[in-house]
Amino acid sequence: MGRKEQRIKKQMEKNPVVECNKIQERLCPKLFQRFAHTEDPRHQSYIEYPNKLMLGTVYYKGIGGITSMQTMSDKFNNKNVVKNIRNFLGEEEAEYLPHGVTINEYFERLDSEEIQGIIQDEVFDLIRRKSFNEARYKKKWLVVVDGTQLYSGNRQLNDKCLERRSNKGTDEELINYHTNVLEAKIVLGDKLVVSIASEFIENNGEDTKRQKRMSEEEIKQDCETKAFKRLAEKLKKKFPRLPMIILADSLYASEPFMDICRKNKWDYIIRYKKGSIPSIAEEYEAIPEKERVGNAEYVNEIDYKGKPVNMLKYWDKKVVKSEVVCTEFQWLTSFVITKNNAERIAGIGRKRWKIENEGFNRQKNWQGDITHVCSWNEQAMKNHYLMMQISDMIKQLYEWFYLKANEIDKKQKDISPDLLASFAQQLTRGDISSTDMHCISQT
């Protein structure tokens, strides 16, 4: 497509936020209603801004890719922005939107499970639409599990921060405080990966005492392993009959992880690295005749503590500067591997990187910054993170069903700024969807 055609395509989108709203209304029509129905933790006599407006303001903060609460308060202190966002949310016109300080005080008291429930309800509605069924394998949904760090520094933001010590026991001992989250994201398309459950990795008194006797790597394994147990309970409780394939990195190559998957009737594909489970590697290498097809090699029913596990190797070959570069990948899986599915399973196993690239990477570098601390309060931090997951889900749907569908080529770094700039545009009655017309004055 030439420059002229690209310019014409971009001109089709007269107002990005209006088009984004249309996608939200089409695919997630209950979102704002669910904002309104959250349990309000505030005293009812002192409420100026209802739940829907409080959560909706933070939702549009995420849509616009705004990083800090102060920036949000500044950007949203605009007559047109206030009018438009209130109209989008179906709220009566007024002079202001909630200030960042007001929202943080609200978030300190709001139960994060309220927002987690909204995310899961929206995902449940999406997968029932059957629009994303092609993303499944053997009619099972791919769920990628991985952890990420939301904060790291020498300041202890709150009592729940994890600790990492260096030069332990010396005068130069340093403490690094950090906040992590274990995330499960469901794959709905090639570049469409949205949150389905989040579990925050938190410290407590018992953890602190135990960590003083642990190495840094042991602390990480202990925390993420504990968090996965809680995450699995959340997933099973909310989606008891949803067929899943759990994709995880080598940290989860363990008997407890496999047992949880078997108990919940989930399949799994785990990235395997040398040293993770030596006995499996030894038995694999001891088998003289392995099955091979294309760039894949595999062995089924390797015994691991009395239970079978299947191992798959795959060699990815690329030509770099006229030389063939070969990269080896290896997985443990519950699937029986055959010549017909070996390379397909390898391709699915490599999709674990989607949570890092299409998931965490876009939320850290392209569509906002989940590592920016909007509040030191641990409850408020959780709520800000979860609201970012909702905004990011809608933006991905907007990219998929509007930008891609209309062949509008935009760089990732331009999507949020374009949406934010459109918040302040003068909108006519025709620009607002019919579902929001009740909030516009008839005069």
Q: What value does the mean pLDDT of the chain take? A: 87
What are the phi and psi torsion angles at 81 (to 5°)?
-60, -45
Distance between CA atoms of residues 30 and 127, nearest Å: 15
b/e for 95-109, b at 16 or more Cβ within 10 A? eebbbbebbbbbbbe
Distance between CA atoms of residues 178 and 158, nearest Å: 10
User: In terms of pLDDT, which residue wins out, 186 or 191?
Assistant: 186
pLDDT of 439 reads 38
Q: Are 177 and 156 in contact (CB under 8 A)?
A: yes
- Indicate the pLDDT class of residue 157, thresholds 50, 70 and 90: confident
- The whole-number average pLDDT for the span 177-204 is 90
Nearest to 133 by CA among 78, 189, 82, 92: 189
Distance between CA atoms of residues 150 and 152, nearest Å: 7
pLDDT of 221 reads 39
- Contact residues for 49 (Cβ-Cβ < 8 A; gap 6+): 57, 97, 98, 102
Distance between CA atoms of residues 85 and 64, nearest Å: 12
- The whole-number average pLDDT for the span 147-154 is 88
- The whole-number average pLDDT for the span 118-140 is 95
Residue carrying structure tokens 């749907």: 397
* E-strand stretches of 51-173: 141-153, 162-166
Give strand pairing partners of 293: 296
Distance between CA atoms of residues 82 and 84, nearest Å: 6
Least confident of 126-130, 170-174, 209-213: 209-213
Q: How does strand 244-248 pair with strand 141-153?
A: parallel
Helix ranges, 271-365 (H): 278-286, 342-349, 354
pLDDT of 355 reads 64
- The whole-number average pLDDT for the span 159-181 is 83
Distance between CA atoms of residues 422 and 415, nearest Å: 11
What would the pLDDT profile of 396-408 be if each residue is shown by its tens digit? 999 999 999 998 9
What would the pLDDT profile of 392-440 be if each residue is shown by its tens digit? 999 999 999 999 999 898 888 899 999 999 999 877 555 655 444 333 3
Residue 2 has pLDDT above 80, yes or no: no
Q: Which amino acid is at 48?
A: E
Q: Are 119 and 184 in contact (CB under 8 A)?
A: no
Distance between CA atoms of residues 402 and 428, nearest Å: 21
Nearest to 149 by CA among 178, 174, 183, 175: 178
pLDDT of 217 reads 53
Q: Are 362 and 393 in contact (CB under 8 A)?
A: no
DSSP letters, 263-289, are HTT-EEEEE--TTSSHHHHHHHHH-SS
What would the pLDDT profile of 302-350 be if each residue is shown by its tens digit? 999 999 999 999 998 888 888 888 889 999 999 999 999 999 999 999 8
- Indicate the pLDDT class of residue 10, thresholds 50, 70 and 90: low
CA dist 131 to 4, 5, 143, 245, 407, Å? 32, 29, 17, 19, 19
Give strand pairing partners of 320: 323
Rank 112-121, 173-182, 184-193 by mean pLDDT and report only the highest.
112-121
Q: Are 192 and 396 in contact (CB under 8 A)?
A: yes
What are the phi and psi torsion angles at 145 (to 5°)?
-115, 130
Calculate what percentage of the chain has a pLDDT beyond 90.
65
Give strand pairing partners of 35: none
Helix (H/G/I), strand (E/B), else coil: 324: strand
pLDDT of 170 reads 79
Distance between CA atoms of residues 301 and 292, nearest Å: 16
What are the phi and psi torsion angles at 243 (to 5°)?
-70, 125
Structure tokens at 23: 């996608």
What would the pLDDT profile of 56-110 be if each residue is shown by its tens digit? 999 999 999 999 999 999 999 999 999 999 999 999 999 999 999 999 999 999 9
pLDDT of 359 reads 66
Q: Are 14 and 421 in contact (CB under 8 A)?
A: no
Residues present in the chain in total = 443
pLDDT of 215 reads 62
| Domains identified in the chain and CATH numbers | 3-110+375-439 (no CATH), 140-366 (3.90.350.10)
Burial class of residue 178 in the structure, from the number of CB atoms within 10 Å of its CB (0-12 exposed, 13-18 middle, 19+ buried): middle
Nearest to 420 by CA among 132, 176, 76, 134: 76
Calculate what percentage of the chain has a pLDDT beyond 70.
87
Residue 159 has pLDDT above 90, yes or no: no
Helix (H/G/I), strand (E/B), else coil: 321: coil
Residue 114 has pLDDT above 50, yes or no: yes
Residue 25 has pLDDT above 80, yes or no: yes
- The whole-number average pLDDT for the span 243-252 is 94
Residue carrying structure tokens 């594909």: 269
